[in-house]
């Protein structure tokens, strides 16, 4: 299920590049509406003191709206990822219905209008010539925090008993619908969980990545392992 080896290699090279930035780090540049932005590196101090609002299957999570410094903050998708990554976390990756329930409950209890997840459409450099990702709206989605492919968007994911993508949206068709592309040519390449925005309950939507939203961070095994391996005695 892992996406292309080039991505794994890119991460490896990025880790190697931490000490001495090299052109290889360009490999992990994420596309955005603000060109030239990069993924942030973890900050060991922040990782050690990261917010641990709740824990599920050994990983910690927090909702940005519950932290004083982010109480009213809304960030675009890449900035939100980077805010998480400095804490050795990343945007939430929703792998099971149980985890989805945790996210939905948080949204419902907090009356949160929407949040970013790490879900991303593979529509950038490195995703071309991947017949297995076509058609993109069905097979092209993955979790950027773990680089795992998502279930096809028109199917009930394994470990779910319903399809979490909304049945409706701006165009009154099921998600993902890339609706903003029809409005002004901006692709909806990022996955947000919206709270009843289209009278559709709490559900998954493809949304253009420049939109600014609060977010949920989840521990990143990769970043925690990296910081643990490079900071002797650090308590994470
Ligand atoms: C944006 O969406 C349109 C319509 O689906 C598609 O033709 C185009 O290739 C997409 N752009 C990118 C960068 O994937
Ligand atoms: C596209 O439309 C949205 C919503 O009206 C707007 O916020 C955004 O700035 C537009 N983007 C472009 C590139 O025109
Ligand atoms: Ca997860
Ligand atoms: Ca949409």
Q: What is the pLDDT of residues 123-170, one digit of tens each?
A: 999 999 999 999 999 999 999 999 999 999 999 999 999 999 999 999
**pLDDT of amino acid 171:** 97
The string over 172-200, giving b where at least 16 C-beta atoms fall within 10 Å of a residue's C-beta and e elsewhere, is eebbbbbbbeeeeebebbbbbbbbebbeb
Query: CA-CA distance, 50 to 88, in Å (whole number)?
Result: 8
Reading the block at residue 160, the tokens are 């779910």
What mean pLDDT is predicted for residues 225-236?
97
Task: Give the pLDDT band (50/70/90) at residue 13.
Answer: very low
The Å distance, Cα 211 to ligand 3 centre, comes to 23
Ordered domains of the chain (ranges, CATH):
9-24+37-229 (3.10.100.10)
Give me the chain's average pLDDT, please.
Answer: 89
Give, for ligand 2, the residue of 32, 180, 187 to mutate: max count of ligand atoms closer than 8 Å to Cβ.
Answer: 180
CA nearest ligand 1 atom 5, residue: 178
- Return all residues near 173 (Cβ < 8 A) that are at least 6 apart: none
Pocket of ligand 1 (CB under 6 A): 123, 178, 181, 187
Q: Is 97 in the pocket of ligand 2 (CB under 6 A)?
A: no
Query: CA-CA distance, 126 to 3, in Å (whole number)?
Result: 11
Residue in 40, 6, 23 with CA at minimum distance from that of residue 223: 40
**pLDDT of amino acid 35:** 60
CA nearest ligand 1 atom 10, residue: 187
CA nearest ligand 1 atom 4, residue: 181
Give the pTM: 0.87
Q: What is the pLDDT of residues 33-56, one digit of tens each?
A: 566 689 999 999 999 999 999 999
pLDDT above 70: residue 202? yes
**pLDDT of amino acid 34:** 60
């Amino acid at each position: 299920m892992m996406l292309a080896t080039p991505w794994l290699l890119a991460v490896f090279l990025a880790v190697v590049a931490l000490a001495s930035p090299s052109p290889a780090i360009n490999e992990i540049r994420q596309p955005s509406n603000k060109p030239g932005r990069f993924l942030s590196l973890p900050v060991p101090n922040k990782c050690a003191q990261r917010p641990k609002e709740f824990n599920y299957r050994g990983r910690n999570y927090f909702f940005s709206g519950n932290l004083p410094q982010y109480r009213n903050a809304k960030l675009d998708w890449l900035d939100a990822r980077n805010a998480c990554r400095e804490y050795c976390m990343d945007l939430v990756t929703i792998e099971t219905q149980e985890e989805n329930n945790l996210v939905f409950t948080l949204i419902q209890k907090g009356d949160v209008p929407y949040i970013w997840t790490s879900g991303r459409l593979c529509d950038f450099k490195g995703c071309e010539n991947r017949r297995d990702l076509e058609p993109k709206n069905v097979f092209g989605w993955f979790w950027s925090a773990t680089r795992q492919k998502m279930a096809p968007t028109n199917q009930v994911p394994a470990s779910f008993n319903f399809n979490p993508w909304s049945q409706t949206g701006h165009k009154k068709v099921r998600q993902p619908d890339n609706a903003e592309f029809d409005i002004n040519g901006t692709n909806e390449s990022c996955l947000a969980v919206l709270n009843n925005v289209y009278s559709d309950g709490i559900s998954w939507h493809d949304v253009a990545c420049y939109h600014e939203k609060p977010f949920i961070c989840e521990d990143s095994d990769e970043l925690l392992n990296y910081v643990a391996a490079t900071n002797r005695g650090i308590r994470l």
